[in-house]
Amino acid sequence: MTRRAPLPFELAFRPFTVRQATEAGVSRSRLRANDLERPFRGVRSPVLAQDAVDRCRAYATRMPSAHAFSHVTAAELFGLPLPSMRESPLHVSALSGREPRMRGIVGHRLDASRIEIRSRQGVRTVSAADAWCQLASMRGPAFSHDDLVAAGDRLLGWPRPLIRVEELDAAIDRHRGSRGTLARDRARRDIRPGSASRRESLLRLDVIRRGFPEPECNGPIDLPTGRVYGDLVFRREKVLMEYEGDHHRTDTLQFARDLERLSALASAGWIVIRVGARSNRERAFGDLALALASRSELA
C-alpha cells in the first residue's frame, strides 16, 4: 500500500483551502486522497466536522471578507436555543456584492447599515442581536413564536446575558420594515431577562397563557442559610415553580444540593412545584393553582 505524504504541520490539524495547500507544496494527488474531508468546494480537512461550529470554521477558510455567517447559523454560533432540526446548510450573508452560491450554503444579501459584525468561535458572524432578528424572518411551522421568545430570552439570560436590553432594542429598530418585523415586535413583548434555559422560557409562556400572574425569572430569595434563586418565582405568595432537567436527577452532587435547597425553602415557608420533561403538566398547573389560591386566602 502506498504511504501518503504527511501534510505540512500548519495544515495537519485544521481545515484549509486547496490554494493554501498548493502554496505549501501539497500535490494535487495528495489533495484527492480519501483521508481528507471535502466539506465545501475548494476546502479540505484532515478532521471530520463534529458540529455546526466545525463546519463554519471549514467554510471560513474560503469565505470572502465581505461575507459573514448569519440567520440560524449565527444563532448556533452564539448558542441561542433552537428547536431540534436536522443538520442544515450554513447561512452566509454578503454585505456587498453577490450572495454566495454553493452546495451546503444558503446565501443572502444584506443591507450593511442594518447589521453589526462580530467574531464568535473564531469566525466572522453577524451580532447575536442581528441573528435573533433574522430568525424572525424564518418563522413558520418549524420555528414558532415560542421558539423566537426562548431564543430572545437567552440573549438576556441568567446568569450571563449575551447582550444588554438596549442592544436588542437597537437591533429591532435597525431591522424595522424588513421581513419579520411583526414577529419580532410580538416576540419582544414576551421576552424577559433572567431565564436560564429554553425549557424555563417555554414553561413561563405556558404559565402566562393559562392565566396565572407572571412570575419572576430566577428571582433571588434570601433564606437564613443564604441566597438561592428560583426558576419561576411568585414572590407575594411565596410559591416557586421549578423546571428540572435530567441532570438534576443523574448528577449526584446536584441532587444533594437540590435537597438542601428545597429543605431550606420549605423551612422558610415556600411552596415548591417541580416540573420535568415527562411531568403531567395538567397536574402541575393544578397544584400551582391550589398553591396560589391558598396563599391568596391567607393574605
Average pLDDT rounded to a whole number, residues 16-23: 97
SS3 content of the chain, % helix, strand, coil (to 5): 40, 20, 40
Asked whether residue 169 falls in the same domain as residue 220, the answer is no
On whether the CB atoms of residues 131 and 91 are closer than 8 A, the answer is no
Residue 223 maps to a domain: yes
pLDDT in tens, 63-100: 999 999 999 999 999 999 998 766 789 999 999 999 99
Asked whether residue 216 falls in the same domain as residue 244, the answer is yes
> How big is the CA angle at 78 (ends 76 and 81), to the nearest 5 degrees?
55
Which CATH number belongs to the domain containing residue 282 in this structure?
Answer: 3.40.1350
**pLDDT at position 245 over 80:** no
pTM score: 0.91
* End residue of a domain, out of 162, 190, 218: 190
pLDDT in tens, 109-122: 999 999 999 999 99
Distance in angstroms (rounded) separating the CA atoms of residues 299 and 297:
6
Q: Across the beta sheet with 216-223, what order do the strands follow?
A: 216-223, 226-234, 239-243, 271-275
Asked whether residue 16 falls in the same domain as residue 87, the answer is no
The predicted pLDDT at position 254 comes to 77
Asked whether residue 15 falls in the same domain as residue 77, the answer is no
Asked whether residue 67 falls in the same domain as residue 153, the answer is yes
On whether the CB atoms of residues 90 and 59 are closer than 8 A, the answer is yes
Asked whether residue 60 falls in the same domain as residue 185, the answer is yes
Residue 3 maps to a domain: no
Pairing outcome for strands 16-17 and 43-44:
antiparallel
The predicted pLDDT at position 1 comes to 46
Residue 39 maps to a domain: yes
Cα within 13 Å of Cα(188), Cβ side: 20
Average pLDDT rounded to a whole number, residues 269-280: 93
pLDDT in tens, 247-273: 545 567 877 888 899 999 999 999 999
* End residue of a domain, out of 165, 190, 215: 190
The predicted pLDDT at position 252 comes to 73
How many structural domains does the chain have? 3
Based on the number of CB atoms within 10 Å of its own CB, is 222 exposed (0-12), middle (13-18) or buried (19 or more)? exposed
Percent of the chain at pLDDT > 70 equals 94
- Categorize the per-residue pLDDT at 3 as very low, low, confident or very high, splitting at 50, 70 and 90: confident
Residue 2 maps to a domain: no
Distance in angstroms (rounded) separating the CA atoms of residues 53 and 39:
13
Domain extent at residue 32: 9-44
**pLDDT at position 198 over 50:** yes
Asked whether residue 16 falls in the same domain as residue 143, the answer is no
Asked whether residue 214 falls in the same domain as residue 292, the answer is yes
Asked whether residue 116 falls in the same domain as residue 234, the answer is no
The predicted pLDDT at position 278 comes to 87
> Which carries the bigger pLDDT value, residue 193 or residue 83?
193
Asked whether residue 156 falls in the same domain as residue 211, the answer is no
